[in-house]
């Protein structure tokens, strides 16, 4: 836990890692608090406004029961188990149980289509998956293509043959369970991250990743936790931002979390929720903040008193920071990280000056620099690649089944982010751009390769390339340049059909919101798509 100091330098210099040899996420975020029988862990509000509350004691008993059930179904140490659920109690219970038996969790976004799910479940060779009735049809559709998938558990609504009832299994199981003694470096979860030159890569994280995240959560949330803190995020728990930037650190500190995520983010409802539960801390993607900014005079209609908002994924502008001070009554602390090594740069308004547009300084505990192509630190003001020095407990173990990509991620002891930035004389980092072609849209990092692969499956598409096109609200939108097959004529109807084709198969945030039909794509001599040229074409057309 961070020690409070008067200056950034005092806090950074005084920090020391305390990573035990034996450590289990499930025990840490649940069981260690369960002796306090009535200590609140989770407040869940469903889409109909129904509210359920769970104590740490409740979560321990329920996760123990599920752990026993998983063992009975043949799930054991280091087996992979997908979790295809929204923000809800079953998601938290599933994570805790999976870690207790030493298995590996795979968080999966509920808006993923069948192609996206099939790839991740096949690549990880998942032995089981826990989902709900809303998403069960997707799993049933691809089950026959997944020879390793033996156990499908549904929380509610599913009546398919061979599918196991989540709550029915819990009801029959014993509440006594002895968690496996895992080492801090033992694998715990795989979070898939999209790249640009191939399919999504699975970042394999160890149990210690939660401890590695703690300073990166405590710092931008102004020395979280404090008395009466209560956390919420609209970010889905399938992403590292919702799961390990919000849920796990809060439970680690014994702080309750509000679970509520509507199918579509409603800024008016966000203010209502914050006021209704007295939410004090939130991780809010910039797009959510931009939407909340459009709500008129919220202070006159809602009684809220937030203490901290952390935001990352896109650069916050000065106007948004000013809105935060005026409307939310606080300074929004911007932070930076990525799936492989998250929350390593941040702002903390309590002890440092906030420079609008800057990502902040290195979070205590992490050594972060800007390096050149040889891995040498560049002088202040020079542009280079953001890099984190290993060993670092927040850092991923490897890309699942992809040793080549893992090795390419490093130069010596520097883990390369692929993001270009400069560091000023005061130690602040300023984002410049990306060395790859990842698209940043509404806080999501989207790789074009998976979308292009999906587009190519459409009967009318001959060739396809995807870029990020500038957008005022989302930062970027996904734009596709498509060469149709010779016999096909472009039309508005075809454009909408292709958009729907991708939306159903991948995810709602990944489909191309703009499509341009072209006669040919700019290619290199070796046949690679020149996305830089496509971006130039796009700018000329804006």
Q: Could you read off the pLDDT of 196-222 as tens digits, one per residue? A: 456 889 999 999 999 999 999 999 999
Instruction: Pick 435 or 131 by higher pLDDT.
Output: 131
Fold held by 44-182: Rossmann fold (3.40.50)
Helices (H) and strands (E) in the chain, counts: 17, 27
Q: What is the pTM of this model?
A: 0.87
- The values of phi and psi at residue 377, to 5°, are -70, 130
Using the predicted structure, report yes or no on whether residue 472 has a pLDDT greater than 90.
no
Q: What is the average pLDDT across 162-180?
A: 96
Query: What are the pLDDT digits (tens) for 246-280?
Result: 999 999 999 999 999 777 889 999 999 999 999 99
CB distance 174 to 64 below 8 Å: yes
Using the predicted structure, report yes or no on whether residue 542 has a pLDDT greater than 70.
no
Give the count of beta carbons closer than 10 Å to the beta carbon of residue 435: 16
CB distance 286 to 443 below 8 Å: yes
Question: What's the token pair of residue 214?
Answer: 């703690």
Tell me, what DSSP letter sits at residue 349?
Answer: T
Cβ within 8 Å of residue 329, ≥6 positions away: 305, 306
d(CA 136, CA 147) in angstroms, rounded, equals 17
Give the count of beta carbons closer than 10 Å to the beta carbon of residue 49: 8
> Can you tell me which residue has the tokens 């826990």?
130
Name the residue ranges covered by the structural domains of the chain. Answer: 44-182, 439-541
CB distance 87 to 112 below 8 Å: no
Instruction: Please report which confidence band the pLDDT of residue 443 belongs to, taking 50, 70 and 90 as the band edges.
Output: confident
pLDDT of residue 197: 54
**If you average pLDDT over every residue of the chain, what do you get?**
93
**What sign does the CA torsion over 129, 132, 137, 138 have?**
negative
User: What b/e string do you get for 468-478 counting C-beta neighbours within 10 Å, with b at 16 or more?
Assistant: bbebeebbbbb
CB distance 429 to 336 below 8 Å: yes
Four-way CATH pick for 439-541: 3.90.25.10, 3.90.550.10, 3.30.300.30, 1.10.150.120: 3.30.300.30
pLDDT of residue 491: 96
pLDDT of residue 540: 77
Q: Which of 266, 267, 282 is nearest to 333 (CA)?
A: 282
Query: What are the pLDDT digits (tens) for 53-68?
Result: 999 999 999 999 999 9
């Amino acid at each position: 836990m961070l020690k409070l100091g008067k200056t950034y330098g005092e806090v950074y210099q005084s920090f020391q890692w305390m990573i035990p040899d034996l450590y289990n996420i499930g025990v840490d975020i649940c069981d260690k608090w369960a002796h306090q029988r009535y200590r609140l862990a989770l407040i869940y509000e469903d889409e109909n406004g129904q509210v359920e509350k769970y104590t740490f004691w409740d979560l321990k008993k329920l996760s123990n029961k599920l752990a026993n059930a998983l063992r009975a179904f043949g799930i054991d140490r280091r087996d992979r188990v997908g979790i295809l659920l929204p923000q809800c109690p079953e998601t938290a219970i599933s994570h805790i149980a999976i870690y207790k038996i030493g298995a590996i969790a795979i968080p999966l976004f509920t808006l993923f289509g069948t192609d996206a799910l099939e790839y991740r479940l096949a690549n990880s060779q998942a032995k089981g998956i826990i989902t709900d009735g809303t998403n069960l049809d997707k799993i049933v559709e691809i089950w026959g293509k997944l020879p390793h998938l033996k156990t499908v558990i549904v929380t509610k609504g599913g009546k398919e043959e061979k599918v196991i009832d989540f709550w029915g299994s819990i009801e029959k199981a014993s509440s006594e369970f002895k968690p496996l003694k895992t080492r801090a470096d033992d694998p715990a979860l795989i979070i898939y991250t999209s790249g640009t030159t191939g399919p999504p890569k699975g970042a394999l994280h160890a149990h210690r990743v939660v401890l590695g995240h703690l300073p990166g959560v405590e710092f931008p949330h102004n020395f979280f936790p404090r008395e009466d803190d209560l956390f919420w995020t609209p970010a889905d728990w399938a992403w590292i931002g919702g799961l390990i930037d919000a849920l796990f650190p809060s439970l680690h500190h014994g702080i309750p979390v509000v679970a509520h995520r509507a199918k579509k983010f409603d800024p008016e409802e966000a203010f209502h929720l914050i006021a209704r539960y007295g939410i004090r801390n939130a991780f809010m993607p910039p797009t959510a903040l931009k939407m909340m900014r459009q709500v008129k005079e919220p202070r006159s209609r809602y009684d809220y008193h937030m203490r901290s908002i952390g935001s990352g994924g896109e650069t916050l502008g000065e106007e948004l920071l000013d809105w935060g001070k005026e409307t939310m009554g606080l300074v929004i602390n911007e932070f930076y990280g990525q799936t492989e090594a998250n929350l390593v740069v941040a702002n903390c308004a309590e002890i440092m000056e906030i420079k609008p547009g800057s990502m902040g300084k290195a979070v205590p505990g992490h050594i972060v620099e800007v390096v050149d192509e040889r891995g040498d630190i560049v002088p202040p003001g020079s542009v280079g690649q953001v890099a984190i020095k290993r060993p670092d407990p927040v850092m991923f173990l490897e890309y699942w089944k992809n040793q080549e990509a893992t090795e390419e991620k490093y130069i010596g002891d520097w883990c390369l982010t692929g993001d270009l930035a400069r560091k000023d004389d005061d130690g602040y980092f300023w984002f410049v751009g990306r060395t790859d072609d990842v698209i940043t849209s509404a806080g999501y990092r989207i790789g074009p390769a998976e979308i292009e692969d999906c587009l190519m499956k459409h009967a009318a598409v001959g060739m396809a390339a995807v870029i990020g096109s500038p957008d005022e609200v989302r930062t970027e939108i996904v734009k596709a340049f498509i060469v149709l097959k010779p016999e096909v004529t472009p039309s508005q109807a075809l454009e909408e059909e292709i958009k729907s084709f991708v939306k159903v198969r991948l995810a709602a945030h990944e489909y191309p919101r703009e499509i341009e039909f072209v006669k040919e794509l700019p290619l290199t001599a070796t046949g690679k798509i020149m996305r830089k040229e496509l971006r130039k074409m796009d700018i000329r057309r804006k």
